[in-house]
Each structure stands twice: as C-alpha cells, then as structure tokens.
Amino acid sequence: MLAVLLFAAAADDAEEPRASLLFYKKLSQTHGHAVNKPFNVTLTVYNKGVGNAYSLIVADDNWKADKFRIIGGGNNFTLDFLNAGDTYEHEFVVKPIRKAWHRVRPAKMFYVDGDAGESTVSHLSNSLPDMRVIEKQDSLEEAAIMAGRVLTLNMIKTKQGWMAFAALALLAICAQLYFIGSAVLHKRRHLRALEDVKKL
C-alpha cells in the first residue's frame, strides 16, 4: 500500500516537473553615471527548477528615448526554451543623453511552465536603486574643482562659483595695478620737478 502511494507520488512529480526561474537585473555601475557615458545592463535568467521553461519573453522597457539611447544589443529578447539547470545571460549597452534622476524599474519576463503548460507565468526581476545622471565633466576640470573645494573649505563648489571668484580676483588685481601705477607716476612727476628745480 505504501509502495503504491510512493509510486503514485513519484509519478505525479514526473508528470509535473516545474520550472522555477530566477531573474536578475544588474547595471555595470551603480553610481558615476554621466551624460554620454555608456553603461551596461545585464539580464540573467536561471532555471533552478526541475522542469523546462518555454517561450520566454523578456522586456526591460526602462530606458525611454527622452533620457537614454540603447546603443548596443537590445533591451528585449526572447528564448524558445530554458532547460532545468540552465542559465542565460543577455547584455545591452545604454547611453544617458541628459541629466536626470531615474527610477530603475524591474525588468519583466513571461514564460510557459513545462511542455504541457497552458498558462503564461509572469515574473519581475529585482529592483535597483534610483540612478543619478550628471552632466559630464572632464576629469581635469573635476579635479581642479575638487582641489578648489579643499582650498576654499568647500565654499566654492561649482564652475560658476569659480568664474565669479576669478572675476573678483581680476578686479582686485586691476585696482592694485591702478594704485601702483598712479603712485609711480606721482613719484616720477615729483623727481622731474626736483630736477627742474636743480637746473634753475
């Protein structure tokens, strides 16, 4: 009796081997995103179940054209099947085109579980922290601003700040030159007057 039950349970298992998918989304960098600086998105699907998955459709529709361009690979892909124990990795390249805060949403996946599966299973990937895309600065300029920040105890942080500072410094130098210049002229006039007096 027990043997029959065990056999039935095993048969039942064999009849319905289930796929079980892990779906992972990853960015090649979590910060330091800048305009025109591409990064990669990797979507990984792993079937940790005992059954195969079929007709997989994966869409990562998170990179709209108002903020990003997809410049390598595609943000969507399909697979006819993913056997039990198999992993599939898909990578594409995204380039930010403007400064923004961006909510990184999970990617979506649909698949059919098992050969005889009739319904489609839907599945979301992990979610990721929001990303910040800054205006690209060349690294020399960045280093100069950083050095300036240290020198001025963090009071001047931006290029605009430095430009205002430079304008003030220039003004101060001009004023200085003017005073020195007039002092020299004054002295020269004085000497010339002395010489004139001596000649008399």
Ligand X SMILES: *[C@@H]1O[C@H](CO)[C@@H](O)[C@H](O)[C@H]1NC(C)=O
What residues make contact with ligand X under the rule CB under 6 A? Answer: 28, 40, 59, 61, 72, 74-76, 91, 93
Rounded to an integer, what distance in angstroms lies between the CA atom of residue 121 and that of residue 173?
A: 73
**CB within 8 Å of 36: residues ≥ 6 apart:** 95, 96, 97, 136
Residues β-bridged to residue 96:
68
Closest separation in Å from C-beta 163 to ligand X: 35
**Phi-psi label, residue 140: left if phi above 0, alpha if psi -120 to 50, beta otherwise:** alpha
Comparison of 38 and 114: residue with beta carbon closer to ligand X: 38
Closest separation in Å from C-beta 61 to ligand X: 4
Comparison of 46 and 77: residue with beta carbon closer to ligand X: 77
Comparison of 16 and 61: residue with beta carbon closer to ligand X: 61
Comparison of 74 and 129: residue with beta carbon closer to ligand X: 74
Closest separation in Å from C-beta 38 to ligand X: 8
Rounded to an integer, what distance in angstroms lies between the CA atom of residue 37 and that of residue 68?
A: 11
Amino acid (one-letter) located at 186: H
Closest separation in Å from C-beta 41 to ligand X: 9
Comparison of 122 and 126: residue with beta carbon closer to ligand X: 122
Closest separation in Å from C-beta 90 to ligand X: 10
Rounded to an integer, what distance in angstroms lies between the CA atom of residue 111 and that of residue 179?
A: 82
Residues β-bridged to residue 111:
121
